[in-house]
Structure formats: C-alpha cells, structure tokens
Amino acid sequence: MTTPGGDDVNGARPPRVLLLAMEPGSKRERIIELASSFLAAGAQVDVVTARERGWDGLDGRARLHRLNPIEAGHPLPWLENAIVVRGPRLVVRPLRWFGRAGAFADRARSRAGRVVHRRLFMPFYRHVRPLILARLARRYVLPAIDMSEVVRVVVADRTAVPLGWRLARRHPDIAVTTRMEKDLPGRPGLSGASP
Amino acid sequence: MPKRRPRLLYLAFYFPPSRASGIHRARATANRLADQGWDVTVFAAPLPFLYDTIGSVDEKLMRTIDPRIAVVRPELNRYTWQTDLRDFSGFRGRFPHLAHSAYLWGQKHIFPERYLSWARASVNRALRMHARRRFDVVLATGNPFASFGAAWLFHRLTRTPYVIDYRDSWTLDQFNEKPRFDDEHGSWRWESRVLKSAANSVFVNEAQRTWHAERYPEVADRMMIVMNGWDADTLPDTPEPPPAARARSGERGLRFTFIGTITAEQPIEQMVEGFGRAREHPEMAGAGLDLYGYFGFFKGAAGPLRGRFGGPSGDQDGQDEQALAPGVSYCGPLSKTELADVYRDSDVLVFLNGGGRYVTSGKIFEYMAAGRPIVSVHAPGSAAEELLRDYPLWFNPGGLDPADIASSMVAAAKAAAGLDQRQVDEARAYAERFERTVALEPLVRRLAELTTRKRASLDDHARR
C-alpha cells in the first residue's frame, strides 16, 4: 500500500503529478478535484500557479507553489512599473502643492499610466509572461521537485504551456498533457483512480 | 487520338479507412464514378488524424475502394485536437496566446471551421495537380464544410465547375431543427457564397432541400436531391425468409437486430424498455436484441452510451462485455463483408434513429433491401418515414411510448415467423429503387454534363 508522501511497502517512492495552473480561471475547481483524486490514489501532487487566491479548497497534502510574488520582482514588470507609475509619480506628485492645476496634472498622470499599462504593456506582456513564468518555475520551483518521480504533468491553461512544453522536451518519458484525466500512466495500481 | 477520361476532384475529408458518418456515400460515389470510367482523385483526411486523433477507423473499408481511385491526403493542422504537448509546434509551445490569437483570426476572417488548414492545403495540392493535368469538375462533400470552401476557391482560381454534396447540413442543426449559428456567424456568409457559385448543390432528402431553398431562393433551381442507398455488393441478390420462418417452432429464440452506429441522439432508453416489455409476451420467449456497430463516431464515446442501456457499463473487470441490458447484447462492429450473414440470421430489424424530418439514416435503405420486418424506434416525423411508408414490412409504433414499441415488436416478430419467399421478394423489389447506383444516377449524369460543357468551352476557347 502506498501512503501519500511516503514510501510504499517495497521502499519505492510514490509517483508524483505536476499540475500547472498558472491562470486557471474557471478550471480551478477541476484542478483542485484532480489533485484530490491523485492524492487519494496515493500519488504526490505539486500545483504550480501564478494566482495568489482561490486555493483554499486544495487538499493540504498537495504542495502549492506560487509564482506571483517572484513574478512581481521580475525586472520586466518592475521596470514597467518604475517607468509608467513610480517615475512619473515622483515628478508630478509635488505639483499638487500648486493647487488645482497640480491635482489635475496628477490625475492626468495616473490616467495616462493606466492607458499605457493596459493598452501598450499588457498586450505585449501577455505573450511574454508565459515564458517568464516558465523561467521562474525552472529556477525556483523545479529544483525542489524530483522529476524522476513525476509520471504526469497536466497543463491546465495556455499560460502554463511554455513550462509544460519545455518539460515535455526535456523529459520524454513523462506524459505532458492538457487532458484532465485521473489515470496515471505506467502505474497499474493507480490506474483509474477516482476521488 | 484516344479521348481523355473525365477527371474528377472529389473533396471527401471522411473517406475510408475513416468510419465516420456518411463515408459509405463518399465511398460509393467514388467507386461508381471510377467504374464508369472517370479518373477520380479523392482528397481525404490525413491518416494520423484518423488513427491518432479521433481513433475512428475501419481498415477493412479500404479493401472496398476501387484501386483505380487516387487518394491524396492533404495536411491538417490539428491545433484544436492536440492534447499532448509534444505535438505542439515550437511557436505554439513558446507563444501559446499568440498561436491561439492566430488560430481565432483564421476562424473569424478566413473560414469558420477548424478544418480550414486542410482546405487550404487541398487547394494548394489541387492547383499543382491541375497545372499538370486539369480537373474537369470538382465534387465536395460536407461535413467538414471547409471542403465546400476549398471547392469555391479552386473554382475562383481555375473556373472549374463544382458540385457540393450536403451529406450533412451545415447551418441547419438537423437534430434540433433550428439554425446552428447565430445571424452574425461567418458560416452564413460562406454558405451563401458557396451556393451561388456552385453548379449544383445536392441534398439527401426533400426536407433539407426545401429548408435551403427557402433561405437561398436565387439558387433553388440548382438544388438536387440524391438520396442515400444500399450497396449491392453487401447483400445477397435474393434474400431468403428470416430464420424464424425457416425453423421449426420454438427451435430458436427470435433475433432482433440493430446495425449501425449508436449515438447520443438516439432514443436508447425507450428501445430498451420497449424490448423488455415485448419479451414478456409469450411468443417472444427467448428473444434477443443484438446490436452491431460502434458506440459513437469518436473514441471515448462508448462509456456514456453504454451507460444509457441501464445494464453493466462494460468497463470493469469480470463484467460481460456483451450484455447491455436483459436480452440486449452488444456484438461489436461489423465489416461490410459480414453484413449479409448478419441480415440473413436476423428475424426483425430495429430502426433506432435519432433524427427528425431532416435526417434520413443511410442504414434504412440496407434494412429494406434485407427483406426483414422493420420496427421503427424514433420520434414521429422522421425523414425515413417517407421511405418506409410503402415498405410492406414496416411496423411503426407511431411514437416513442415503450408500450407501443413493444406492441410493434411483437407484431413484427409474428410477421417474421410467417414470412414466405414471395413476401420477402416483394420487400426487396420495393428496395431496388434505392440501390446505390440507381440513387447516384442523377449526380453521375450531372457531373458528366458539367464535364462536357467545360470541355466544349475550353475547345471553343482554344479554337478562338
């Protein structure tokens, strides 16, 4: 028998499943359910996400890796914030001491910053972000995961694709899929696991 | 100088070894034209798509294709079907949002169907082949309807006439009998464009033709009906009476048979309950209902469909894989070559059908040709009723009430036990008009006319 997180009676490590859910959106509940079913089947589960909230329902035995705090410190969003928000604020804020005209300038600065962020930066960052998250996960999350134990990687959303795609190329023996199936390949004892 | 054979480009995505809905029409059409001396080139789905992506193949069907037919398989971008990340391209693997935006842009601005890449590849291949030796006419069958778009574009580029064959309807949801898309959807614009330029459009029944004629009155005079049919190579020339009529009384339980693909649209529960009630009748003691065919058209459909029979699901160890419900057995898929034996050993045929007035199941023609009593299990108003009305061995419960279905089954069983050769011959005689070569004749004639006209126009042009 396999106990979650521990060795089985033969001393073999239980299989591990990696759930990549960077921006899970409406799929979050399914991810949580999937994690529970894998855990119930005796597997170890790691969830990698870039979303801070919404994971209260995740089984406590699953390891949750949040990338969003690390992402906030990444040079690209940090630089954008510095150029679009913090820098102009530093220049314009003091103008408020000059009355209505200064307040107007500050509001205009704030509005312009939002427009630049939404209309210019985000459309660009949307396409770069999956690559950044993949890089951050490789640097800060994957070293803590023994990939020799991983039997399946489930990619739950498009933002998680670059990380999953890279794992698929580097580990040809691991199933890397977008299908949210509950079976574990090559593990007969765990096949057809159900919650 | 010997006259060049007429050359047809047949855009039939689902073609053997595919076992998808309606492939028998494409198979029979290509075979018939090849048999009539046409030089037929079929553009079909790539094999990795059929085997790996949808897992919907019947390799035995390949043996039924005339060897003179050239089958070409243009590439298909399997973007929406890919689930294994190893299949993703480098671009999609690195920039998934950009790849998705590009895919959606193609759907919105080029052609609103995920088979678009196959259509584009088909046109490219067709142009290259046409440059070497020209096609006289194009026949496109849908679904997928990207084949219609490909025929239209090829016509625009080469002026080659084309005929579109609505094996299924495109903008009409034939099961719900409502438009499939909202008014703004690009399919409407494409359908209008394709119909206007087509030499002819072909429908499988009058209801479908009428629906389209009302929406596109300007091309209604070019709309034709080419019904499905049964293939003479799959059934004996003279069917014999059913086993119940040949055997001594009580020697063998009555065999009810369903042959075809079991789909979610069919009234499975009503059929099972009706058959269960029919078995309570003393004359139905030991009767069994055998189901031949596949569960659904794609892999993964079997579990939910089996579950609707109310018996064991068949996916757990130790279960009888065959038993679906009391007296109801699943006998697996059949090849065309095995059909004759199954029909011969059947007493009554159960016509389980999910569609309404727009759906004529292709199987009903074969059922009639088998010369067996047929029990209808479908909602009233099915397009098949028009065909069955004059069939002498039709038993129609008039609806989906299990009690009525049971009564019809019992009546059909009694009729089967009393059938003689004359009655079976009468049933077959009625079905002869639906034999495939007869059914296809108007289409073959029309394609020949278009070829003649096209060649005359080219000759005229050359003389000038």
Q: Within an 8 Å CB–CB cutoff, is residue B183 touching chain A?
A: no
CB contact under 8 A, B85 and A178: yes
Q: Least CA distance to B97: which residue of chain A?
A: A127
**Mean pLDDT in residue range B418-441:** 93
| Same-domain check for residues B214 and B261 | no
Give me the pLDDT at residue A6, please.
47
Residue pair B26/B12 in contact by the 8 Å Cβ criterion:
yes
CB contact under 8 A, B84 and A175: yes
pLDDT digits (tens, 9 = 90+) for A48-70: 999 999 999 999 999 999 999 99
Parallel, antiparallel, or unpaired for β B323-325 and B328-332?
antiparallel
Q: Least CA distance to A131: which residue of chain B?
A: B94
Find which of B82, B85, B95 to mutate to test the A interface (most A CBs within 10 Å of its CB).
Answer: B85
| Same-domain check for residues B370 and B400 | yes
Give me the pLDDT at residue A190, please.
42
Share the mean pLDDT of chain B. 90
Name the token pair of A66: 């949040």
Give me the pLDDT at residue B337, please.
75
Q: Least CA distance to B91: which residue of chain A?
A: A162
CB contact under 8 A, A159 and B95: no
Q: Within an 8 Å CB–CB cutoff, is residue B317 touching chain A?
A: no
Whether the ω angle into residue B144 lies within 30 degrees of 0, i.e. cis, is yes
Angstrom CA distances, A70 to A49, A50, A77, B38, stand at 11, 9, 11, 67
pLDDT digits (tens, 9 = 90+) for B242-257: 988 877 555 678 999 9
Instruction: Tell me the chain B residues in contact with residue A158 when contact means C-beta distances shorter than 8 Å.
Output: 96-97, 100
Give me the pLDDT at residue B35, please.
94
**Mean pLDDT in residue range A142-167:** 96
| Same-domain check for residues B280 and B356 | yes
| Same-domain check for residues B200 and B245 | no
Q: Within an 8 Å CB–CB cutoff, is residue B184 touching chain A?
A: no
| Same-domain check for residues B137 and B242 | no
| Same-domain check for residues B190 and B53 | yes
Nearest of A102, A80, A75 to residue A91 by alpha carbon:
A102
**Mean pLDDT in residue range B112-130:** 97
B101: in domain:
no
Q: Within an 8 Å CB–CB cutoff, is residue B316 touching chain A?
A: no
**Mean pLDDT in residue range B416-442:** 93
| Same-domain check for residues B162 and B31 | yes
Give me the pLDDT at residue B320, please.
61
Q: Within an 8 Å CB–CB cutoff, is residue B299 touching chain A?
A: no
Angstrom CA distances, A57 to A22, A50, A62, B11, stand at 17, 17, 11, 51
CB contact under 8 A, B85 and A131: no
B85: in domain:
no
Residue pair A106/A93 in contact by the 8 Å Cβ criterion:
yes
Burial class (CB in 10 A: 0-12, 13-18, 19+), B375: buried
Give me the pLDDT at residue B177, please.
87
Give me the pLDDT at residue B319, please.
52
Whether the ω angle into residue B6 lies within 30 degrees of 0, i.e. cis, is no
Q: Within an 8 Å CB–CB cutoff, is residue B85 touching chain A?
A: yes
CB contact under 8 A, B85 and A179: no
CB contact under 8 A, B85 and A161: yes
* pLDDT beyond 50 at B451: yes
Q: Least CA distance to A181: which residue of chain B?
A: B83
pLDDT digits (tens, 9 = 90+) for A99-142: 888 888 889 999 999 999 999 999 999 999 999 999 999 999 99
Residue B178: strand pairing partners: B173
Higher pLDDT, B239 or B77: B77
B446: in domain:
yes
Give me the pLDDT at residue B212, please.
96
pLDDT digits (tens, 9 = 90+) for B3-41: 789 999 999 999 999 988 788 899 999 999 999 999 999
Give me the pLDDT at residue A176, please.
96
| Same-domain check for residues B239 and B348 | yes
3-state secondary structure of B352: strand
Maximum Cα–Cα distance across chain A: 77
Nearest of B245, B236, B228, B232 to residue B347 by alpha carbon:
B245
Give me the pLDDT at residue B285, please.
82
B90: in domain:
no
Instruction: Tell me the chain B residues in contact with residue A165 when contact means C-beta distances shorter than 8 Å.
Output: 85, 88, 92-94
CB contact under 8 A, B94 and A162: yes
- How confident is residue A185, by pLDDT bands cut at 50, 70 and 90? low
pLDDT digits (tens, 9 = 90+) for B334-367: 877 788 999 999 999 999 998 778 888 888 999 9
* Count of C-beta atoms within a 10 Å radius of residue B154: 23
Give me the pLDDT at residue B38, please.
96
B333: in domain:
yes
Give me the pLDDT at residue A11, please.
56
Q: Which of B82, B84, B93 has its CB closest to that of A162? A: B93
Strand order in the sheet with B7-11: B70-72, B39-43, B7-11, B137-142, B162-166, B200-203, B223-225
Instruction: Tell me the chain A residues in contact with residue B97 when contact means C-beta distances shorter than 8 Å.
Output: 126-127, 130, 158-159
| Same-domain check for residues B264 and B329 | yes
Give me the pLDDT at residue B311, please.
66
Give me the pLDDT at residue B2, please.
56
Residue B137: strand pairing partners: B8
- pTM above threshold 0.95: no
B109: in domain:
no
B89: in domain:
no
Q: Within an 8 Å CB–CB cutoff, is residue B78 touching chain A?
A: no
B318: left (phi over 0), alpha (psi -120 to 50) or beta: left
- How confident is residue B325, by pLDDT bands cut at 50, 70 and 90? confident
Interface of A with B (CB under 8 A): 126-127, 130-131, 153, 155, 158-159, 161-162, 164-169, 172, 175-179
Q: Domain count of chain B?
A: 2
Whether the ω angle into residue B77 lies within 30 degrees of 0, i.e. cis, is no
B381: in domain:
yes
Q: What number is the ipTM of this complex?
A: 0.86
Instruction: Tell me the chain A residues in contact with residue B94 when contact means C-beta distances shorter than 8 Å.
Output: 131, 162, 165
Domain with B391, as residue range(s), is 232-434
Give me the pLDDT at residue A172, please.
93
* pLDDT beyond 70 at A173: yes
Q: Least CA distance to A164: which residue of chain B?
A: B85
Instruction: Tell me the chain A residues in contact with residue B86 when contact means C-beta distances shorter than 8 Å.
Output: 168-169, 172, 176
Contacts of A109 (CB under 8 A, 6+ apart): A88, A89, A92
CB contact under 8 A, B83 and A164: no
CA A119 to chain CA mean position, Å:
24
Nearest of B275, B281, B372 to residue B324 by alpha carbon:
B275
What string of DSSP letters covers A103-159?
Answer: HHHHHHHHHHHHHIIIIIIHHHHHHHHHHHHHHHIIIIIGGGS-TTTEEEEEE-SGG
CB contact under 8 A, B85 and A168: yes
**Mean pLDDT in residue range B280-298:** 87
* pLDDT beyond 70 at A1: no
pLDDT digits (tens, 9 = 90+) for A8-61: 555 567 899 999 999 998 999 999 999 999 999 999 999 999 999 999 999 999
| Same-domain check for residues B340 and B236 | yes
| Same-domain check for residues B174 and B47 | yes
Residue type at position B192: S
Give me the pLDDT at residue A79, please.
93
Q: Least CA distance to A152: which residue of chain B?
A: B84
* pLDDT beyond 80 at B321: no
Q: Within an 8 Å CB–CB cutoff, is residue B95 touching chain A?
A: yes
Instruction: Tell me the chain B residues in contact with residue A153 when contact means C-beta distances shorter than 8 Å.
Output: 85
**Mean pLDDT in residue range B174-197:** 93
At B217, which CATH number? 3.40.50.2000
Give me the pLDDT at residue B121, please.
98
**Mean pLDDT in residue range B383-389:** 91
| Same-domain check for residues B236 and B168 | no
CA distance B95 to chain A (A): 6
Instruction: Tell me the chain B residues in contact with residue A164 when contact means C-beta distances shorter than 8 Å.
Output: 85
